[in-house]
Amino acid sequence: MNLSFYDRAAQTTNPTAKALLQLMDTKKTNLCLSADLSCAGDVLALADKLGPQICVFKTHVDIIQDFTRSFASELTNLSEKHNFIIFEDRKFADIGHTVKEQYGKGLYSIADWAPITNAHILPGEGIIDGLKSIGLNKGNGLLLLAQMSSKGNLFNEAYTASAVEMAKAHRDFVIGFITQHRLTEDPAFISFTPGISSTDQGDALGQQYVTPRQAILENHTDVIIVGRGIYGATDPIAAAEAYRAEAWQAYTDRLCL
């Protein structure tokens, strides 16, 4: 499936998916930055510095030791200033009723400021229904975890295929997958790939890396997720530019296949 992000935007109904595909096309970036830092000020500074390079800014809010609601509103302002979409990598994994409460309430109130979040499908379809009951009216979108990058993970083909089936049954709210390979030719679904490094093979805790080119050109996914490869670099701006260029080149090369 070598349709451009621009053409695929017309094939989606979810407003967040449409906005993301359009902004990737106009901004010419399929780089998602994973900002896994523990101070709110550092996360915001990173968003301001690297915002021009990215399509998506991914957070783990439960890492941030000084999280307040104003962090969320300041990040939203930066997402408007630099035109990127916020993705809270919450990996919901409970029954529908509980995830509904976790998504819409509590200190984090994720549904109010993160247009994208994600969920495991282990509990069954009720998890999607629960999140959808809060997120759909807000125009939010959900990514399903269909594969992981970590060594020895327990995902298998049948489980991954179930994720695709569930996504197709909820295409108004499910906008794609966290995955290592493209799983469907359906142009509406966007594939995000974590476990990306141009230099390293992995880390000491089971992370496994592929290069941006392997992910986008060989494995046909759409968006690369990069954390330490960028924020841990001596020059994060130069690193972001390099990851952005490699991933975008791989995407444009794929369009010519």
Half-sphere exposure of 116 (CA within 13 A, CB side): 29
Three-class SS of residue 43?
helix
User: How distant, in Å, are the alpha carbons of 14, 169, 189, 255 from that of 184?
Assistant: 18, 14, 8, 17
In 3D, which of 55, 112, 60, 111 has the Cα closest to residue 84? 55
Smaller CB distance to ligand 5BU: residue 11 or 208? 208
What's the one-letter identity of residue 177?
F
34 binds ligand 5BU per the rule CB under 6 A:
yes
Measure the CA–CA gap between 224 and 245, rounded to whole angstroms. Answer: 11
36 binds ligand 5BU per the rule CB under 6 A:
yes
CB of 87 to ligand 5BU, least distance (A): 10
229 binds ligand 5BU per the rule CB under 6 A:
yes
Could you tell me how many residues of this chain bind ligand 5BU (CB under 6 A)?
17
88 binds ligand 5BU per the rule CB under 6 A:
no
Residue among 28, 49, 91, 138 flagged as catalytic: 91
Measure the CA–CA gap between 257 and 64, rounded to whole angstroms. Answer: 42
Among positions 47, 148, 210, 242, the unique one binding ligand 5BU when judged by CB under 6 A = 148
Judge whether 114 and 87 are in contact, CB under 8 Å: yes
Q: Report the first-to-last Cα separation within the chain, whole angstroms.
A: 10
Three-class SS of residue 227?
coil
Residue 18 is a catalytic residue? no
For residue 186, how many other CB atoms are within 10 A of its CB? Answer: 16
CB of 192 to ligand 5BU, least distance (A): 9
194 binds ligand 5BU per the rule CB under 6 A:
yes
Among positions 53, 117, 149, 211, the unique one binding ligand 5BU when judged by CB under 6 A = 149
Smaller CB distance to ligand 5BU: residue 134 or 224? 224
CB of 77 to ligand 5BU, least distance (A): 23
Half-sphere exposure of 228 (CA within 13 A, CB side): 10
Smaller CB distance to ligand 5BU: residue 26 or 232? 232
225 binds ligand 5BU per the rule CB under 6 A:
yes
CB of 215 to ligand 5BU, least distance (A): 12
Enzyme catalytic residues:
91
Residues that bind ligand 5BU (CB under 6 A): 34, 36, 60, 89, 145, 148-150, 178, 194-195, 207, 225-229
